[in-house]
Structure 1
């Protein structure tokens, strides 16, 4: 059987998305599907138990066209994200849904089974569709639950990561979602905030964020934004303006932190991963200003920035090849 007919199945069940992906040993993405978990109107998130329940219910829909998309291909390995981060003690119940479902599939079809972390999957997916070739780089993981700046070094199929900066309180994604909900947008609101801000104009940021040595606090912006929302009447233009300044504040502090940490750790390559990394506003602002400092930025396509299982499948593919399993089954 050729490499194109042997596939790796990747499964990821994060806090807000159920994802599956199928990649053949030749590196072609045959399938990359996801279902966003449902959040009740006006709410700002989900309990872990609610997320776990929805993940279980989503698998049937995600696998409906699996056979038609993959044809006669054979699943030779299944890889799942078991933890949020590649660190001891990292745990969230929602990942149990995908992990145990993946393990069951591997046993039924007689495939190899591997595990990785959600964060490594994000980094792998982002690197996959960018031009980043370096084995050591700064990885900026900005999502609904995370705003972290990491020293990332390739380690086999995955990555060794060391946390060196980021937000000490709420994440950038939480800030965007919470302000967006206050403005009347449905959760998650990051995409609408980005649409509002992109192309708005060029104004000096009205918010101040405390930051030091690559670390920042974002909850102060949330408080300031709430005060503005409560004290003024908001039409569409006002919403665009506030969206601009919230994203501008995130951009300014990320740039300052990246410049500091890049110099400290000797990294001039920066990879952006996570759902918030699909922001056109942040891409434009950060890339433009960091390029003047000799820092190269790498961004992936939105479908590989937001939660997805493609990176998990790619890690599984690399493990399978590295272990020589494809030779053993030839």
Structure 2
């Protein structure tokens, strides 16, 4: 017995199967034109529709598409009223159609809930979904510190801090594109930063658990225009992100003692950030392949929903 999960985020088409213990995620990044900083929603939706059959084919070739008992999909960015992005319609509509065709239940989840579930599972701590914890959702569009509480088979996340303007992922991506790297630039900036000769830093002013990163984009631009080595610029940006997130995490742990910290989202796959938060905050991280956008978390939540519906959870 297995369940199918779909996630069509702004930059990745994903389909995953979960059988209660393990599973398989198939995903593909959306194409962004060189030099551009993102996609229009209409373009993202179009690419998802084209790419979803390819992900099903990968799962079929791996022997995963059999005895599917439920289908789930990410239908919105966050589980709050008014949270909406057109790109999620691709997975939601195909998921509902598949469920109706197979005669199995369909379960809707949010993209953020899927991230948290995938992170907890791949970190070896799925039990976190049944207790309160602190979490970072760090991605190209989101830098949020969350207070997460269990809510039946899923979780509810309250934003208690994070960026007030551009996200950590946007700062990293804009740095990469400014240095001539392809978008999304997270992995390339990470690799480039390891060649740095200088360890440039600049403190970001904190407001409780919140902060602004737009000023750091200006600092980055000043370094580039001043002829700084690209590797040093890359390291500067990552230092800013790592130092800021670590300081805010430590403050939150003092306010909420005893709660573990879980990190999810594409930026959470950054090697430097993982080292800093593990050392300074004992943070838990998803495996890198489940830090970036994926459908595994959606499949895991769908499994839990089916278990609850059939009285086994």
TM-score range, shorter chain: over 0.9
Residue number among 17, 21, 37 corresponding to 1:27 in the alignment: 21
| TM-score (normalised: structure 2) | 0.94
- State the secondary structure of the residue aligned to 2:107: strand
* Distance in 2 between residues matched to 1:267 and 1:223, nearest whole Å: 37
CA contact 2:26–2:55 (8 Å) conserved in 1: yes
**CA offset at residue 289 of structure 1?**
2.2
Answer yes or no: is 1:308 the counterpart of 2:300. Answer: no
* Distance in 2 between residues matched to 1:71 and 1:35, nearest whole Å: 18
| RMSD of aligned residue pairs (Cα, Å) | 1.8
Q: Deviations over 1:298-318 (max 9, x none)?
A: 011111100000000000000
Give the match for residue 244 of structure 1. 235
**CA offset at residue 267 of structure 1?**
4.3
**CA offset at residue 68 of structure 1?**
3.2
- State the secondary structure of the residue aligned to 1:91: coil
* Distance in 2 between residues matched to 1:71 and 1:256, nearest whole Å: 42
Question: Which ranges of structure 1 fall in alignment gaps of 5 or more residues?
Answer: 1-5, 291-295
* Distance in 1 between residues matched to 2:194 and 2:223, nearest whole Å: 21
Q: Deviations over 1:189-214 (max 9, x none)?
A: 01111112247577351x23222101
* Distance in 1 between residues matched to 2:65 and 2:34, nearest whole Å: 42
Q: Deviations over 1:241-269 (max 9, x none)?
A: 11111111111111111111121123441
* Distance in 2 between residues matched to 1:86 and 1:36, nearest whole Å: 24
CA contact 1:198–1:281 (8 Å) conserved in 2: no
Residue number among 45, 57, 62 corresponding to 1:64 in the alignment: 57
Structure 1 residues 201 and 149, CA gap change in structure 2 (3 angstroms) = farther
1:16-165 → structure 2 map (5 Å cutoff):
16-24=11-19, 26-29=20-23, 31-70=24-63, 73-132=66-125, 133-134=127-128, 135-165=131-161
**CA offset at residue 71 of structure 1?**
5.6
* Distance in 2 between residues matched to 1:93 and 1:59, nearest whole Å: 16
Q: Which has the larger radius of gyration?
A: 1
| TM-score (normalised: structure 1) | 0.90
CA contact 1:197–1:281 (8 Å) conserved in 2: no
* Distance in 1 between residues matched to 2:45 and 2:243, nearest whole Å: 36
Question: Which ranges of structure 2 fall in alignment gaps of 5 or more residues?
Answer: none
